[in-house]
Structure 1
Amino acid sequence: MPFSLPVPAAAAPTHLLYLHGFRSSPKSFKAQRLAAWLAEYRPDIHWWCPQLPPSPREALALVMDGTAHWPAGSSAVLGSSLGGFYATAVANQRGWPWVVMNPAVDPARDLAAYIGEQRAFHTPEEAFYFRAEYIDELRALHAGPLDHPERCFALIAQGDELLSWEEMAARYAGAQQRVIEGSDHALSDFDQHLPALLHFLNLNP
């Protein structure tokens, strides 16, 4: 059965923020794919995909400071996995439309098993230490009930091998959802869903 397109959330953004997931980076496939599309078709849009520090508190502070002067009516945020959790916190504070892709729902619970030294996916030679206090920082950042969930587009893969798709679907129950049969946590079939994401953001070549 073909997917239907989401209803665009707002006017086309002039500023786009992308937040990567745990152990990921701006080199992630989805971030690179979006950056390439924007460079080719919409170079007028201001794109920012920062490398997020391991500390959730510092990560959100970096993002909020870096976007403090972005226009309220023409900015949007996208996030994958842990970045989806952060994107929800940003959107709830700023009132922006947002896109989440296999978003972490309870990262304080899920990442407790990862306390200790970790390696980045795209630069495995680089290590960082995920500290126990980061779990408390994640709890403090939980956004609570979603403000204006209709402004959110959620891409959720039933084949996610790390996170529960049912939990994601329940958390974003009021959002516009595309629940994908199969796929995986990384959304390896992202190109199939990119047109819907762009449609939601009112972005056209």
Structure 2
Amino acid sequence: MTIIYIHGFASSGQGGKASLFREYFEEELIAPSLSHIPKLAIDTLEQLIEVLLEKDETVGLVGSSLGGYYSIYLANKYDLKAVLINPAIYPYKTLDKIGTVMNYYDGSSFEVTNEHIQTLKGLEVQEIQTQENFMTLLQTDDEVLDYNEAVEKLSESELVIEEGGNHSFENIESYFRKIYSFLDN
């Protein structure tokens, strides 16, 4: 099995959470650093998934925040299993007011444009085909996103709701075994 870790907005495949996943899952994990441009990020992920599927690999996705939004789209498109960590459900609303943003990992800055917002709207999955393909990990004190949006959208997924926490999902490593077991089933 190959697990693709999809980082959140303004983060990196070298960020803190990605590093924890890489340390635990070792060579089974790919954590690409994706473009801040949604169209390029999705194109990179689609190419990666298609190459792995052509090699008859089992592919599982783990997406955090915006990476969770991308994971919903990709899992729905390719019929894959996905673990969503505090996923963004409506990123085109959350990011709509943002202009210049700084990357949390390397300090570089970039612009969020109207074209990016429109691309994100276009990636929205109105109706998730197979909610059993999803495990959704949420912490109620997420300071960036309202966890209730994910509960509503993914009500038939395997929901894990923890009181407290934050947007990064405190102690995510305590779920690594459960994540692997879910993706490998």
Q: TM-score range by the shorter chain?
A: over 0.9
Partners of 1:25 and 1:62 lie apart in 2 by 14
The amino acid of 2:6's aligned partner reads: L
User: Which residue matches 2:16?
Assistant: 29
User: Which residue matches 1:54?
Assistant: 36
User: Which residue matches 1:85?
Assistant: 69
Query: Are residue 101 (structure 1) and residue 85 (structure 2) matched?
Result: yes
Structure 2 counterpart of 1:166, from 127, 148, 172: 148
Q: What SS does the aligned partner of 2:96 have?
A: helix
Partners of 1:197 and 1:67 lie apart in 2 by 19
Q: How many residues align?
A: 183
Structure 2 spans left out of the alignment, 5+ residues: none
* Higher alpha-carbon deviation: 86-95 or 65-74: 65-74
The answer to whether the 8 Å contact 1:20/1:80 transfers is yes
Structure 1 spans left out of the alignment, 5+ residues: 1-13
* Higher alpha-carbon deviation: 96-105 or 22-31: 22-31
Identify the structure with the greater helix proportion.
2
Partners of 1:61 and 1:170 lie apart in 2 by 28
User: Which residue matches 2:171?
Assistant: 189
Larger relative CO (CA 8 A, sep 6+): 1 or 2? 1
The amino acid of 2:61's aligned partner reads: V
Partners of 1:139 and 1:122 lie apart in 2 by 26
What RMSD, in angstroms, separates the aligned Cα atoms of the two structures?
1.5
User: Which residue matches 2:4?
Assistant: 17
> Sequence identity, in percent?
24
Residues 132-171 of structure 1 correspond to what in structure 2 (within 5 A)?
132-171=114-153
Q: What SS does the aligned partner of 1:167 have?
A: helix
Shift of 1:73: 6.4
The amino acid of 2:104's aligned partner reads: F
User: Which residue matches 1:9?
Assistant: none
User: Which residue matches 1:5?
Assistant: none
User: Which residue matches 1:8?
Assistant: none
Partners of 2:102 and 2:116 lie apart in 1 by 16
Give me the TM-score of the superposition, normalised by structure 2.
Answer: 0.93
The amino acid of 1:123's aligned partner reads: D
